[in-house]
Structure 1
């Protein structure tokens, strides 16, 4: 499993419209093969910045399956107009677990 992390800087004043568009767009990504789950978080210190986390079974599920699909074109039409600059997208693989409630 991998995690896609995208830092999304939304044009100032367009956060509410972006969130409405994302509510529609998230159904697109959720229907893709290899998709597991996603989370969208809004920054407290910089309210026009978001972080999108998407869990995929394999890197190729995102880079080939989603990004080369017809559905990606709809995703792009809904969301890409809000970004300035264009998002940096990175992929991560887990190397350690979480100690829930434990002190190290």
Structure 2
């Protein structure tokens, strides 16, 4: 089985909501540079629909060492300095647990970001979430799903699921498999719209 992807989850909150266009311009320039760096695999940047001042970016790397090397570079530090002028940043380094890809749909894309805190058996939670992800992948409108375990928050997990249309998302959340997940840990949920992203090549992560 391929090694799990090191996952960097950054939450950006605009200091001034009017600065969204400027932040997105700077961020997309940064992403173009990041995609050229060794060890970079994929990313998904989204913007919260009900809190438009909030952005989340999930970045996937082959190894933590690859990201640390980029983090220490002059270019990255210059970009980070620019970002901090317009956003507050909260970083949550994590390790990939699960990744499943589906087929892109025709509906309006939406990404559900869920942050879980598990106080009980982490293995039971991961098994329940895997069963849910496999059930979700059989629903029309499923795009892809990722689950990562925080290296910073005890018992912390972040899941991101892409759907085509709200009805598919609702169908998945009405399944008994999702109810089993909720019986273990309630999430803080953020409904978002994609801003930019790409997917990792097949075979670099668990595909369910």
Q: TM-score, normalised by structure 1?
A: 0.84
Q: Whose radius of gyration is greater, 1 or 2? A: 2
* Alignment partner, residue 74 of structure 1: 78
* Alignment partner, residue 93 of structure 1: 95
Contact 1:7 1:50 (C-alpha < 8 Å) held by counterparts: yes
Higher relative contact order (CA 8 A, sep 6+): 1
Query: How many pairs are equivalent?
Result: 101
| Unmatched segments (≥5 aa) in structure 2 | 99-129, 140-174, 178-208
RMSD: 1.8
* Alignment partner, residue 16 of structure 1: 21
How far does residue 92 in structure 1 lie from its aligned partner after superposition? 1.8
Instruction: Give CA deviations for 1:31-88 in whole Å, capped at 9, x if unaligned.
Output: 11110011110001100100011000111222x21111122133224422111xx311
Alignment of 1:33-72 (within 5 A): 33-62=38-67, 64-72=68-76
Specify which structure has the higher proportion of strand.
Answer: 2
Q: TM-score, normalised by structure 2?
A: 0.45
| Unmatched segments (≥5 aa) in structure 1 | none
